[in-house]
Amino acid sequence: MAGSRTLTALVGLAVSVAITVALWWYFDTLLVFLFLPFVPILFRGFGGDDSPVAQECPHCGFQSTVEAYDYCPRDGSRLEPK
């Protein structure tokens, strides 16, 4: 089964193509196809923030965005959210 990201990408592509075809039909020119790559940019702000949380060692300053690190590999201290 397709993952949620794949499904979101396919839905975005289908909506983008549908908008482009509708604009092509309405304005009756092929120049509308130049706007096809820019349609996803219009909806960029609606998604959630998927950026990983940075963690930092309070003693040595080691930083990581990987969730697998709970402790500093240098001195064993627990990493704290930045």
Kindly state the average pLDDT of the residues 31-49: 64
Which pLDDT value is given to residue 66? Answer: 87
Phi, psi of 81 (to 5 degrees): -60, 140
Phi, psi of 56 (to 5 degrees): -140, 145
Give 46-69 pLDDT, tens digit per residue.
655 566 788 999 999 999 988 888
- C-alpha to C-alpha distance for 19 and 25, rounded to whole angstroms: 10
For tokens 């040595």, the residue is 60
pTM value is 0.39
Which pLDDT value is given to residue 9? Answer: 86
Q: With 80 as the cut, is the pLDDT of residue 82 above it?
A: yes
